[in-house]
Structure 1
């Protein structure tokens, strides 16, 4: 009985395995680089506005957030920061799960939990950004922040 070696000869030509994933991993890699650069701008703009302008960290309270989110510019800014950070982080954790989870079932469960967490955070964060109302119309005046108009 002859045994065949499972390791190819060092002089044999490299045979590339065909994958069915297409260029997804390439696009994922490019996205990580692009989103990282955009996130740097968004995060440092966010930090500069919140910490360096005005009274700094001492000015951040409910009224500050309410006043900031009254502007569509800051709503879009924070929405982009939320979505890009979540997609960027989810893609990074997905790569780690693919690299280190050895069993298909483990990989599937971990990625399922990851995508569920991503969905919950993005949906709730988006709802908070666009439905935040610091001055609800029927609220008692003593519970409203000082910047709300009294009627």
Structure 2
């Protein structure tokens, strides 16, 4: 243990607050900065998309009582609403995945655990985005052989 000239124990050396931060590893670029900016921009856009979605689905017409197969089919007959819902799906999934990635990086201390969790996270995100996109683009509002009362008005019963 180090001592001062008077024999008192020496205090540990603390670097000045303005000293440059020493990184554990060097990074290749500004990925974390772009990730941070994306979270802010996507969060604002998601607020608009989600509240617009909730307003149209819950506040117009009969509210929650109007939501059935015909309502969704009528909405998704329009390219505008398909694009709206697709953008909401993609942004929400990427935004959430990026947030969980940050939590994993912060709390998973061992490299193997961190890599495993992030691989599982990315696989789940890709599968969810792919299935959601597939549902939006392959949705057929005019099903045949079903209850004609559930069909939207623009479908002709066959």
TM-score (norm 2): 0.83
CA distances 1:77-101 after superposition (whole Å, capped 9, x unpaired): 0000000000000000000000000
2:147 to 136, 143, 147: 143
TM-score (norm 1): 0.86
CA RMSD of aligned residues (A): 1.9
Runs of at least 4 residues off by over 4 Å: none
Distance 1:112 1:14, change over 3 A: same
Does 2:80 match 1:73?
A: yes
1:126 maps to: 133
Larger radius of gyration: 2
User: 1:1-150 residue pairs with structure 2 within 5 A?
Assistant: 10=15, 13-14=19-20, 16-17=22-23, 19-136=26-143, 139-140=144-145, 142-144=146-148, 145-147=150-152, 148-150=155-157
Taking the aligned partners of 2:63 and 2:127, their CA distance within structure 1 comes to 31
CA distances 1:17-49 after superposition (whole Å, capped 9, x unpaired): 362232000000000000000000000000000
> How many residue pairs get matched?
142
Taking the aligned partners of 2:132 and 2:47, their CA distance within structure 1 comes to 20
Where structure 1 has 5 or more consecutive residues not aligned to the other structure, the ranges are 1-6
Secondary structure of 1:16's aligned partner? coil
Distance 1:126 1:103, change over 3 A: same
